[in-house]
Structure 1
Amino acid sequence: MSYEGNDSRIALPLFTAALAGLLGTGCGSKEKEKIVEVSAPLAGTVTSTSVEKSLTLASFTTLCETRGGVVQTHASCAGANTCAGVSFHTGSGKLSEHTCKGANSCGGMSCVVLPDDRGLTGAQMLEGSPEASMDDSQPQCSFCHGEGKTSFVLPIAPGADAAAAIAAFNAKSDAALIGAIAFGIHGVKDGTAYANMPGFYKIYSLAEMKRLVTHLRSLPLETKEWRATP
């Protein structure tokens, strides 16, 4: 069983086998239960499960990248994962492949599998090529961050320290920037919710996100204040 619609992405049994090798566990491990396959999976279902209690964030991240995905952690119950992929429950060690969002139980992590790589360059994504548009017309990155030909525009809150914002951006890891590209930027400040950037996990591949980050690192930064309007 491969991930739906993409033969290049490995199935959970292979994913779990790779984890076993990575973690040094084998078929005789007491911590690893037999994989249960569900025949003829329906849309929006868990398609296979296993148990791997030795799984760590680092090993899960490594294996997630073999699927071309990014890791999303979640501490809540009632299904908080973003989309189809693989989810891990830290309490029971249950590893599940599923075809829908909201399939995790309580705290753990999920591998969000991204689209296929179309070969877009970092410059194409930032400058707003037709292939990297939000709705076939509106450029995605350049709409807020400039066209990227001479610099990368970093939106900051009104009155924020520009130098501190630039230093904070430069200090972010590549993983942090990829996470922001994939899942967006949002939160709550002083009781007011904000959503400053949408997530593009349905649009860009992991390779494209990495190329975009590399391109951003090559450009000088400038800041621009954003202002909330009624």
Structure 2
Amino acid sequence: MILLAGPGAGVQETRNRDMLLSGSEAYRPLVSRGFQEFRSALQERRLRLLLAGRSGTGKSATGNTILQRKHFLSRLAATAVTRACATGSCRWASWDVEVLDTPDLFSPEVAQADPGFEERGRCYLLSAPGPHAVLLVTQLRRFTAQDVRAWRGVKALFGAGIAARAVVVFTRREDLEGGSLQQYVRDTDNRALRSGSWWPSAGAAAAPSTTERPTGSGRRRSGS
């Protein structure tokens, strides 16, 4: 699915982290179990949303839009603003929604600053037992190979099955200048974007409904 966002648009934990850092095949059963809980989540009216993508695309601003308040740090900067995973929660209708904001976990800069990939471990633990949806955030007119790398990194972290839970969110809606997202994707000279081969899942492009917005309070978690 593709969405278009408006303008900004203990012991067990240690064991889980060790499994995460030791290789993807070890922890994918845990993620799969999280996907199996999606049906029970519908009954519990609880959703865990993970914001992913390269730096500077508007992940934090998108999270703030979902929460309908300024919770995540979001501003124009030459370097990445989000340095660590953080969560916020809200109540939307009868749903308890939790949003996990992440830095660009797969950029070379993060690898240098966090050689032990501890932040990837935090991302996994904070979204346990698995996100119900991954929002892959990118910008109109600024789609690059870094976006493709970010998505491949998400699949490497959570397993290929995460594609069934993925939604592409395009920010900077104003750049369409009155046109449609479908037309933009069809006419763009960006081969990777036009081909759609990197998209998490197949399906028609769709515009989001903005008639209802979630409200509530958020929180920040500390990492292990």
- Give the TM interval when normalised to the shorter protein: under 0.3
Higher helix share: 2
TM-score, length basis structure 1:
0.24
Q: Work out which of the two has the higher radius of gyration on C-alpha atoms and give 1 or 2.
A: 1
Which gives a bigger RCO, structure 1 or 2 (Cα 8 Å, sep 6+)? 2
